[in-house]
């Protein structure tokens, strides 16, 4: 079959495409002159009177074309117009692809055929087309053939950055690695450099490469093209635009040729070139960014892992629900332009390595130290090491039957032995270890052994479910897994990364089944090593995953310094000292006992089901640990209060000896505090507010809740900032966005805003989420690093914090932004309402307020609420806040099985409410 040649052309009119970007470039490649269609924003910039001060060189993969970079073109132009660095984008269509020249071919492409344009040729093509274009801008870079000086290469004045996707990713990385005299940084979306010999080719490619399927799927039909376009949520007109250059068989030879050039084994003509490319990329030492869509069926996690090993300096941002066309799924252009701002500020020289946000993470900046300097911190294991001869009780575990108690001496011995055993097994400082062990002595031993040698504990709550835990574990990419059988079973079933270690010894058959190499029991018999590695305060200690209630769970990075600072907060604020008996029914704090010298007791309960904690179980835990302090969640305390009458006299006396009761995980209403006070009659009852990113931020006690209940404020009062926490407010504007500028003191009082906090024990960043880290820590006020909590509310005249929901749930009415949580607390006070959710219906800025009530546990029927209830609630809202409540609906069920309003999926309820108010079925799920 003969494929005729055709010169490059400009695209027809297409959605989201500016014709001014298109140009035809004649380039002299090693095998002769060829014409390329190129996306180039130079003309648009100059039409605005802007001269480029940086250049982005972009390369698409297969079967896309430069249309892939339209969002980046628009974003870079907008950045230039707003006063940022003026980035010019150059994105050629590869030969035989897009609207570039079609070469003459005599036959259909095959892996070993002469009709295929090879990897090495495509790298040369890219060089041939971009080199003369770079020379067009004064001060950027000149020809490298000696005709003009290379006076701006890789310079602060005009940085050059590459970006690629799919096979364009590896090709652009290769070009960058071979042109470090020019290139200042490199970015890649989903791509692959190395195909492991012991791993199969991804199934979609395997099917396409199979014999006659290759030309049939890629050239003779548009099957490969259409399947690729299905790997993203694209509108039909956008899919058609991507397909526009390939609307006939004669125009699709390049698609098949690209697939045919995938080096599947060492006999492939491009295999040796790919090996050279991999080595070149591993030597690239400039800043790099990897943006990844993990749901890609072709470029799997192993390819990202390989890239990170080759580019250890790279920042990573994962869009957990993104697929192959990740830049179509998410605002990748925004991430790229933000990263470029950090690396190459418009008014200063480029960063020499990590971005500003990453540098802050590496140096461990915090509220008590100038940026760039780590605060001094007590070692996390210092108290445990100091008590190595102490025969008093360190920990009691009621999760085991019978309950197991261990001394400080035994705990030190076990953790030190396991630490040495881990080292002998091959665990190294910085290695990540997934902990699939419930709270108790086994988890304590495993965790502190890892902390002693600088291994990083990865902790994902089993409450995430198998899919959520799989997503979290894959994201963290641990080298090791320590687990009990249920966790090891999940790891095997879902193919989680990491070599396996069981808690207890397994038989030969089970060990083989679960791929287990050894056990903690075996490692605990290791002879003590004379010198264990000593982690620095700035080294990562743990990756703790969030609840996943507002999107995919995020891994929160804590350093050794962060954890030490958290332990210091407990000591300083709540007087938790060495020798204190602590019953820890709240998992995040179950592991802090050895760090503060407290005797930790894990009560008999399921950590994923807090309501399983009974009054008898907590009483027995108090007795065993001679405890004076109890820490649990509100859901756990509700059941403790409900079962309090079943305690015997000894148990009641033990509860009466408790001095401090802490409840975290959700605000505690007054009625629950009163119930807790009846169980622990002599205790001071506190409800600290925090989150995975900052476990203790504010605090309120029983008397404080009573005082707050007597005031006319909206929302839930969580008290005042604890000692060591600075709090500011980022006001929310009419669009629902929080301001960049922060307000403190009296300026922050009385209006809606996002809470922003600074403290030594705040997280150091998010794992593999560069953009999320940068956004949450982008403020620098008075030399402090601040964390944007995403929680909204107001600060009253007495400095108390009132929560009113999450930033993404702000309702933007014509009268201004409204925090849903405040109105929900107001509506929930009605005797007919069990719980409610406030949502906005309509365009941003003109949204109507709608109240959605939960039918469960009430006599209300799904649909429109009764007229008397609707009238009563409308009057209440109007009287208190002056807003009109447009409608009151009753939902058959709320979309998540949650414990408190801050966890309600308001977005789904808003979709449901909009559907119902438009005449849709009440029973339709949100």
pLDDT reported for residue 45: 97
What is the per-residue pLDDT across 607-657, written as a single tens digit (0 to 9) for each? 778 889 999 999 999 999 999 999 998 989 999 999 999 999 999 999 999
Is residue 713 classed exposed, middle or buried when 0-12, 13-18 and 19+ CB atoms within 10 A define those classes? buried
Spell out, as residue ranges, where the chain has pLDDT lower than 50.
142-153, 349-377, 897-902
Eight-class DSSP state of 662: E
pLDDT reported for residue 925: 54
CB-CB contact of 760 with 366 (8 Å): yes
Alpha-helix residue ranges (DSSP H) falling in 719-796 = 770-776
CB-CB contact of 926 with 895 (8 Å): yes
pLDDT reported for residue 378: 57
Q: In 3D, which of 724, 716, 655 has the Cα closest to residue 685?
A: 655
- Per DSSP, the residues of 555-623 read EEEEEHHHHHHHHHHHHHHH---TT-EEEE-SHHHHT-HHHHT-EEEE-SSBTTBGGG--HHHHHHHHH
HSE-CB at 458 with a 13 A cutoff on CA atoms is 29
Q: Return d(Cα 91, Cα 102) in angstroms, integer.
A: 17
Tokens 């609420």 correspond to 865
Count other C-beta atoms under 10 Å from residue 409's C-beta: 15
pLDDT reported for residue 355: 38
Is residue 545 classed exposed, middle or buried when 0-12, 13-18 and 19+ CB atoms within 10 A define those classes? buried
Q: In 3D, which of 841, 867, 865 has the Cα closest to residue 853?
A: 865
What is the dihedral angle through the alpha carbons of 792, 794, 795, 801, rounded to the nearest 10 degrees? -50
Eight-class DSSP state of 3: B
- Compute the Cα dihedral for 763, 768, 770, 776 and give only its sign: negative
Alpha-helix residue ranges (DSSP H) falling in 667-800 = 670-679, 702-709, 770-776
Give the C-alpha distances (Å, rounded to integers) separating 326 from 95, 233, 290: 24, 10, 12
Eight-class DSSP state of 865: P
Eight-class DSSP state of 216: I
Eight-class DSSP state of 6: B
Q: What is the pTM of this model?
A: 0.90
Count other C-beta atoms under 10 Å from residue 69's C-beta: 29
Count other C-beta atoms under 10 Å from residue 177's C-beta: 24
What is the per-residue pLDDT across 166-215, written as a single tens digit (0 to 9) for each? 999 999 999 999 999 999 999 999 999 987 766 777 777 777 776 788 99
Q: Where are the extended beta strands (E) located within 677-796?
A: 684-686, 689-691, 694-699, 716-721, 726-731, 753-758, 765-766, 780-781, 784-785, 787-795
CB-CB contact of 38 with 92 (8 Å): yes
Q: Return d(Cα 715, Cα 698) in angstroms, integer.
A: 15
* Domains by residue range for the chain, with CATH: 19-343 (3.40.50.1820), 356-375+709-806 (2.30.38.10), 810-926 (3.30.300.30)
pLDDT reported for residue 784: 79
pLDDT reported for residue 359: 32
């Amino acid at each position: 079959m003969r494929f005729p040649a055709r010169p490059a052309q400009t695209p027809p009119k297409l959605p989201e495409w500016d014709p001014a970007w298109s140009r035809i470039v004649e380039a002299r490649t090693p095998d002769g002159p060829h014409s390329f269609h190129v996306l180039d924003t130079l003309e648009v910039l100059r039409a605005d009177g802007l001269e480029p001060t940086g250049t982005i060189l972009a390369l698409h993969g297969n079967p896309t074309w430069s249309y892939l970079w339209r969002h980046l073109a628009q974003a870079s132009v907008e950045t230039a117009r707003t006063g940022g660095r003026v980035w010019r984008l150059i994105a050629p269509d590869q030969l035989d692809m897009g609207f570039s020249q079609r070469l003459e071919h005599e036959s259909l492409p095959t892996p070993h055929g002469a009709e295929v344009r090879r990897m090495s040729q495509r790298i040369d093509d890219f060089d041939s087309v971009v080199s003369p274009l770079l020379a067009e801008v004064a001060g950027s870079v000149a020809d490298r053939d000696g005709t003009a000086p290379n006076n701006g290469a890789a310079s602060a004045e005009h940085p050059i950055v590459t970006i690629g996707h799919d096979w364009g990713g590896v090709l652009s990385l290769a070009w960058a690695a071979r042109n470090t005299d020019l290139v200042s940084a490199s970015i890649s979306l989903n791509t692959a450099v190395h195909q492991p010999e012991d791993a199969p080719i991804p199934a979609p490619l395997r099917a396409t490469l199979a014999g006659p399927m290759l030309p049939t799927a890629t050239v003779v039909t548009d099957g490969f093209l259409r399947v690729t376009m299905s790997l993203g949520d694209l509108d039909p007109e956008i899919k058609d635009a991507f397909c526009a250059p390939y609307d006939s068989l004669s125009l699709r030879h390049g698609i098949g040729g690209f697939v045919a050039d995938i080096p599947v084994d060492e006999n492939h003509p491009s295999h040796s070139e790919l090996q050279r490319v991999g080595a070149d990329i591993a030597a690239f030492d400039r800043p790099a960014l990897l943006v990844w869509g993990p749901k890609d069926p072709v470029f799997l996690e192993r390819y990202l892992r390989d890239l990170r090993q080759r580019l250890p300096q790279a920042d990573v941002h994962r869009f957990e629900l993104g697929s192959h066309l990740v830049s179509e799924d998410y605002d990748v252009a925004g991430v790229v332009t933000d990263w470029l701002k950090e690396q190459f500020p418009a008014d200063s020289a480029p960063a020499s390595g990590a971005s500003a946000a990453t540098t802050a993470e590496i140096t461990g900046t915090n509220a008590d130290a100038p940026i760039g300097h780590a605060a001094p911190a007590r070692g996390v294991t210092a108290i445990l090491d100091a008590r190595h001869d102490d025969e008093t009780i360190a920990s009691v575990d009621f999760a085991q039957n019978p309950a197991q108690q261990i001394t400080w001496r035994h705990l030190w011995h076990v953790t030190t032995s396991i630490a040495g055993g881990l080292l002998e097994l091959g665990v190294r400082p910085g290695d990540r270890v997934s902990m699939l062990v419930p709270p108790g002595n086994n988890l304590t031993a495993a965790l502190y052994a890892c902390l002693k040698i600088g291994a990083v504990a990865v902790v994902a709550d089993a409450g995430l479910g198998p899919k959520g835990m799989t997503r979290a574990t894959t994201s963290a990419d641990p080298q090791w897994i320590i687990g009990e059988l249920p966790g090891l079973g999940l790891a095997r079933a879902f193919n989680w990364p990491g070599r396996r270690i069981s808690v207890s010894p397994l038989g030969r058959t089970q060990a083989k089944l679960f791929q287990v190499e050894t056990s903690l029991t075996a490692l605990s018999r290791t002879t003590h090593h004379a010198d264990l590695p000593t982690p620095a305060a700035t080294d990562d200690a743990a990756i703790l995953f969030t609840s996943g209630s507002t999107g995919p769970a995020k891994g929160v990075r804590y350093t050794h310094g962060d954890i030490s600072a958290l332990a210091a907060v407990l000591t300083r604020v709540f007087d938790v000292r060495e020798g204190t008996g602590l019953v820890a029914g709240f998992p995040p704090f179950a592991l802090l006992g050895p760090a503060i010298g407290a005797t930790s007791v894990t009560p008999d309960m399921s950590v994923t089901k807090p309501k399983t904690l009974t009054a008898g179980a907590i009483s027995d835990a108090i007795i065993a640990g001679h405890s004076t302090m109890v820490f649990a969640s509100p859901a756990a305390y509700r059941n403790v209060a409900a079962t309090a009458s079943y305690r015997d006299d000894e148990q009641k006396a033990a509860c009466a000896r408790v001095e401090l009761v802490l409840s975290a995980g959700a605000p505690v209403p007054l009625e629950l505090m009163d119930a807790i006070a009846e169980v622990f009659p002599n205790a001071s009852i506190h409800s600290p507010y925090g989150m995975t990113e900052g476990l203790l931020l504010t605090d309120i006690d029983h008397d404080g809740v009573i005082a707050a209940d007597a005031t006319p404020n909206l929302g839930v009062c969580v008290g005042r900032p604890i000692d060591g926490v600075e709090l500011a407010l980022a006001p929310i504007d009419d669009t629902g966005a929080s301001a960049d500028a922060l307000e403190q003191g009296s300026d922050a009082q009385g209006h809606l805003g996002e809470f922003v906090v600074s403290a030594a024990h705040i997280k150091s960043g998010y794992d593999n989420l560069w953009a999320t880290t940068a956004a949450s820590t982008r403020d620098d006020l008075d030399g402090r690093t601040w964390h944007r909590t995403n929680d909204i509310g107001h600060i009253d005249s007495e400095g108390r914090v009132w929560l009113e929901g999450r930033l993404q749930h702000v309702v933007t009415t014509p009268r201004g932004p409204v925090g849903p949580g405040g109105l929900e607390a107001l509506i929930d006070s009605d005797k007919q309402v069990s719980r409610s959710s406030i949502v906005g219906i309509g365009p941003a800025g003109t949204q109507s307020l709608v109240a959605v009530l939960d039918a469960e546990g009430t006599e209300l029927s799904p649909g429109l609420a009764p007229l008397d209830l609707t009238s009563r609630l409308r009057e209440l809202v109007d009287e208190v806040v002056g807003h009109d409540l447009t409608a009151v609906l009753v939902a058959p069920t709320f979309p998540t099985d949650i414990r408190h309003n801050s966890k309600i999926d308001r977005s789904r309820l808003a979709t449901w409410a909009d559907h119902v108010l438009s005449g849709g079925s009440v029973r339709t799920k949100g």
